Amino acid sequence: MSLESINIASIAVPGIMVIFAITLLSLNIFVKNLSKTFYALVCIFAIILDLGILFSYKNGISGFFGMINMDGIAFLSQMIILVSSAFFMGFLLCKESFFEYEIKEYFVLFLFVIAGFSFMVSSNNLILILIGLEISSLAIYTLIALKNKIYAIEASIKYFSLGALSSGFYAIGAALLYLLTGHLEIDKILSFIVDANLKESILLLGASAFLLASLAFKLSLIPFHTWIVDVYEGSSSPLAGYMSIVPKIAAFIIMIRFFAPLSDVLWIKNIIFIIAIISMSLGNIMALVQKDVKRMLAYSSISHSGFVICAIAIGTTEANVGLFVYWTMFLFANLGAFGMLFVTSSNGYSWDTRFEHPYSKFAGLIKTMPFFAVIMAIFMFCLAGIPPFSVFWGKMYLISAAVHSDHFCLAVIMAINSAIAIYYYLKLVVIMFMHEPLAVDKSVYVKNLSNPFKFTLGIALLFSVFAIIFIEPLSKFINLLVSSSGF
């Protein structure tokens, strides 16, 4: 067995995370009094180290007999995973002491989440993808439950149960593909399907249906969305924001690798289009009637996911570039919005018997906390896709890709849904700027705000507001990497 064919460097990014996770776990056995700050800083150091390794890669590298493929889209997705993880750690360095962050295993589990998703997006083998998915998913289930509240444990159990069903769907789909082609590597499966003219095979239809159902669960696409609102509501705000970004980019990558080359198969394209349109539309409609800001953001994330998977069905390089541009822009705005919710989290103050972040909580903030109100309004403008803020550019890239590929009806539906989204995002802005304040004591809004928290929010705000400056070089960079991957 040749070491060159194994190429350990191809799994350096997830490998570093596993090493740091085991080190922290071992350290916790011998040293009991280390603070949350120490563990968070070690995690941030591991993320920075991984970013350095990632940028040291030249061209695409593969390893483990072609089962690991660090191509352009793996590079981009790992960048998104690592940057999102750094933001998450910044939010954990908050002022208040929350139960789950005092448990040192929380940080160990988080490193395994990063390792699992990093491994998943660079894998070309269906079994290795499942291993990466399960490593990260099992860790996330536990992170949710560590909040140690009834609704958090309920959310964790619900996520675990439906996640197990999703994994079962994936395993059945992978087994059907192996039965059809005799291969487990995605590139070999696709080559066999094309060479043997099996695009209309019943087995391919069944395998695609199971794989699509499994990935649609991770993307919270309708009708596989039932878990998302309860899970987001039961999780801490930073974790909910993180789950709205990282697991979804991993699922997008698997969809690109398998379904994008099959986008010329009419029934696959039509199924994806139908799911995308329903998810965009119903996600927006359900977000309109919510009374809690976190629940609104949960439903809106369904709509964003539906918007983005249109790129998979379109199947052009421009559409795939638009997918990464959109998700990069969405990353900063969405994590910023969830971060602003976490600023207002407190152990000793309850706003509502049912909801943690009701709209009334933010009433009249322009009078009591004008700076807070303006920042929150900016993140809402970004998520609504109002120019010139960040998500607007992602939407323009995807709508443009739809028009250039002659999907005019789809482009119109995307534009209409973008207009609907403006209403429920601006609803919060109206409440903050036009209603009378509910709480006179402004300190209740900033009890959780620390200097690292301010810095993290500042970075998210900077990229969200000034996206117009770096959108062109970013899109060129993404286009170069996507094209080099053959997509």
Q: pLDDT averaged over consecutive 10-residue blocks of the chain (487 residues)?
A: 70 90 88 83 93 82 81 91 92 78 87 93 90 91 84 86 90 92 89 86 89 91 87 87 91 90 82 92 90 89 92 88 92 90 69 72 84 90 90 92 91 92 91 79 72 88 91 91 82
| Residue 155, pLDDT score | 86
Ramachandran bin of 441, using left for φ above 0, alpha for ψ from -120 to 50, beta for the remaining angles: beta
* Cα-based distances in Å from 108 to 20, 40, 105, 142: 8, 10, 5, 11
Q: Could you read off the pLDDT of 244-273 as tens digits, one per residue?
A: 999 999 999 999 998 888 877 888 888 999
Q: Can you say whether the dihedral through the CA atoms of 92, 93, 99, 101 is positive or negative?
A: positive
d(CA 340, CA 427): 16
* Cα-based distances in Å from 166 to 92, 137, 203, 218, 285: 29, 11, 19, 8, 25
- Cis-peptide, bond into residue 223, ω within 30° of zero: yes
d(CA 53, CA 440): 49
Q: Which of 155, 167, 181, 266 is nearest to 210 (CA)?
A: 167
Q: Could you read off the pLDDT of 158-180 as tens digits, one per residue?
A: 889 888 999 999 999 999 999 99
Which residues have CB under 8 Å from 188's CB, separation 6+? 181
Residue type, 149: K
